[in-house]
Structure 1
Amino acid sequence: MVEKAQTNSKSVISLTLGILSIFIPMFGIALGVIGLVFSRIGIKEIEKTNENGRGIATAGFICSIVGAVIHLLWILLDIFNWSSFSNV
């Protein structure tokens, strides 16, 4: 009987954090950065151990970037709006 290779757990964590970084307002940047770290570690482990989950880690990487960028832009927009209305 042939055993299937396991899915890398860090790639699953990176995808979960990446998705959460898109939808959770106040912690989106932090979750995105942590998701990026987990995805990079997961990809390196997958290359060494030949586990499954490279696509999941890549999706986690992309979602983490998107979530972090969305919330960074949101914060910059809030700062811009606050500074422009405080001078009135």
Structure 2
Amino acid sequence: MNASFRQTSTLAIVSLIFGFLGWTLLPAIGGIVAIITGHLARGEIRREPERLQGDGMAVAGLVLGYASLILGLLAVMIFVVFFGGLMWLGLQH
């Protein structure tokens, strides 16, 4: 009886951790790191599926990373439009 042991990808763990950090302590950097390491982890897991696991963690890190970056960009755009509109109104008077 030879039980095979699959190791969890370190990159998948890093992606998940930085995905959470992208929502809390490191908004932009955390999201970028989560996206990069998530893609790297998925490629690593696809190349060696008999040795590595953690695709779900990598996907979760990717989702958290992309979501934090998209919402952050939307917030910046709304901020610029709102305060740009206020400045435009102020210059009209």
- With the shorter chain as reference, the TM-score category is 0.7 to 0.9
Choose between structure 1 and 2: higher strand proportion. 2
Residue deviations 1:19-67 (CA, integer Å, cap 9, x gap): 111234xx42332122111101000001112201000001111111111
Paired with 1:49 and 1:55, the residues of 2 have a C-alpha distance of 15
TM-score, normalized by length of structure 2?
0.82
2:8 is matched by which residue type in structure 1? T
TM-score, normalized by length of structure 1?
0.86
Deviation of residue 8 (structure 1)?
0.2
Q: Partner of 1:22: helix, strand, or coil?
A: coil
Number of residue pairs aligned between Structure 1 and Structure 2: 86
Within a 5 Å distance, the mapping from 1:46-65 to structure 2 comes to: 46-50=45-49, 51-65=52-66
Q: Which stretches in structure 1 are left out of the alignment for 5+ residues? A: none
2:63 is matched by which residue type in structure 1? I
Paired with 2:76 and 2:4, the residues of 1 have a C-alpha distance of 48
Q: Compute the RMSD of aligned alpha carbons.
A: 1.5
Contact 1:35 1:61 in 2 (8 A): yes
Deviation of residue 3 (structure 1)?
4.6
Higher RCO (CA-CA < 8 Å; seq separation 6+)? 1
What percentage of residue pairs aligned between the two structures are identical?
A: 19
Paired with 2:67 and 2:34, the residues of 1 have a C-alpha distance of 11
- The answer to whether residue 79 in structure 2 is matched with residue 78 in structure 1 is yes
